[in-house]
Amino acid sequence: MATAPLPGLDDGQARRALTVLGRAAVRHPVAARAVTTLLALDIDRMLPLGMEVASQLENPRVFARTLLDGLQAHDDGDTVRLVLDHLPDESAALADLAVLASELTLRNAEQHASLNPAATARLLLRYTYHLKSSGRRREGLRAAEEAAGLFEQLAVDSRQTHLPDLGRALHGFAVMLDETGERGRGLDTIRRAVEVRKELCERSDVYLPELALSLDVLGADLAERGHRAEGLAAGQEAVRIFEGLAADRPVLYEAQLATALGNLALQWERFGNPGEACAVSARCVDVLRRLSDQNPDAHLLKYAEALNHHASALARADRRAEALAPVVEAVELLRVLVETDPG
């Protein structure tokens, strides 16, 4: 149910008010109650603004919980769609909100699955991602498997239309299999995803980013299973693709380049080449430093992890003196993260 617009407060003023209240809500329950009041007065405007604010707060836990309560109190279809449309690609602060919004949308879609199975399967894929982000891996695996099964059937009837969907579903399913320890099935599934996406790239270069994502996962899975040379080749191909994409559109592809670089560095270590591992991990650190400065909510933890991996690579390369600085920086970042979000 939509609420009446809030008079006398433009978006800039509302954003500033929510920021002040979000910071205060950590220690003052009255501030959280004030956020609830603002949401109730104009949910369709305040909730998206609140989502912007949550991603910028140092300690967003209480504020994000208040947003979650607001969505539960106003869970009509229009408001839920509004939340899904405004969710950032990655936000630790909003993970639970993303899961709830996906659940509410999926609940309605599943009632009509026989009428539009493709829409239901796409919602399942999105739900998988949000479950994974909030740590609910087993539930994510079930959703991913269901989505893959639906798109397998759809691709049989209309391969041209649903092959891109099948590639995404197989990729998501493979990732969840890995996350839940089923690495043998994960490797088989990601091989299929790569095959599908290579076929798509023969149609158009627009599918190159998705191929690179699957190659990155394939490389890591192959290395994990002892196929190190094959895994290294897949990882290098993923990095090459993302380097080209990030050169043209850094905002879209630098985060994926950083992930691919981090995985490739680990593969060089397994391959017994610590020098290459150090060089690649240093590049990963540089990219994530830049990203964490721009969006700490999404990237600061990954930056700290990359620093730690780089220090380990330096130590294994017998460059222990150089390893000290990234270790110290990583520890300091992790200390700040724990202090701002102790839960």
Over residues 284-295, the pLDDT tens digits come to 999 999 999 998
Per the CB < 8 A criterion, the answer to whether 92 and 297 are in contact is yes
Structure tokens at 264: 């490739």
* Residue pair 180/137 in contact by the 8 Å Cβ criterion: yes
Q: What is the domain extent for residue 12? A: 1-74
Is residue 29 situated within a structural domain?
Answer: yes
CA distance 74 to 68: 10
Residues 200-249 pLDDT 10s: 999 999 999 999 999 999 999 999 999 999 999 999 999 999 999 999 99
Instruction: Give a yes or no: residue 11 inside a domain.
Output: yes
Task: Find which of 61-75, 107-121, 174-188 is predicted with most confidence, using mean pLDDT.
Answer: 174-188
Cα 315 from Cα 321, distance rounded (Å): 8
Q: Terminal CA-to-CA distance of the chain, rounded, Å? A: 33
Domain contains 17: yes
115 inside domain: no
42: pLDDT strictly greater than 50: yes
Average pLDDT, the chain: 85
> What is the per-residue DSSP string for 4-23?
PPPTT--HHHHHHHHHHHHH
Of the chain, the percentage scoring pLDDT greater than 90 comes to 50
Nearest to 40 by CA among 12, 74, 80: 74
- The residue written with tokens 């700490």 in the block is 296
Please, are residues 195 and 203 in contact by the beta-carbon 8 Å criterion?
A: no
The more confidently predicted of residues 74 and 174 is 174
Is there a domain that residue 13 lies in? yes
Q: Is 228 among the domain residues?
A: no
- The arithmetic mean of pLDDT across residues 300-314, rounded, is 94
Three-state SS annotation for 160-196: HHHHHHHHHHHHHHHHHHHHCCCHHHHHHHHHHHHHH
64-116 pLDDT, tens digit per residue, is: 777 777 776 766 666 666 666 666 555 555 565 566 555 555 555 554 455 56
Task: For residues 84 and 97, give the distance between their C-alpha atoms in angstroms, rounded to a whole number.
Answer: 9
* Total number of domains constituting the chain: 1
Rg of the chain, C-alpha, whole Å: 22
Sign of CA dihedral 184, 189, 191, 194: negative
Task: Give the whole-angstrom CA distance, residue 77 versus residue 138.
Answer: 27
What is d(CA 19, CA 16) in angstroms, rounded to the nearest whole number? 5
Residue 6 pLDDT greater than 70, yes or no: no
Residue 147 within any structural domain of the chain: no
Whether residue 28 is contained in a domain is answered as yes
Amino acid at 169: A
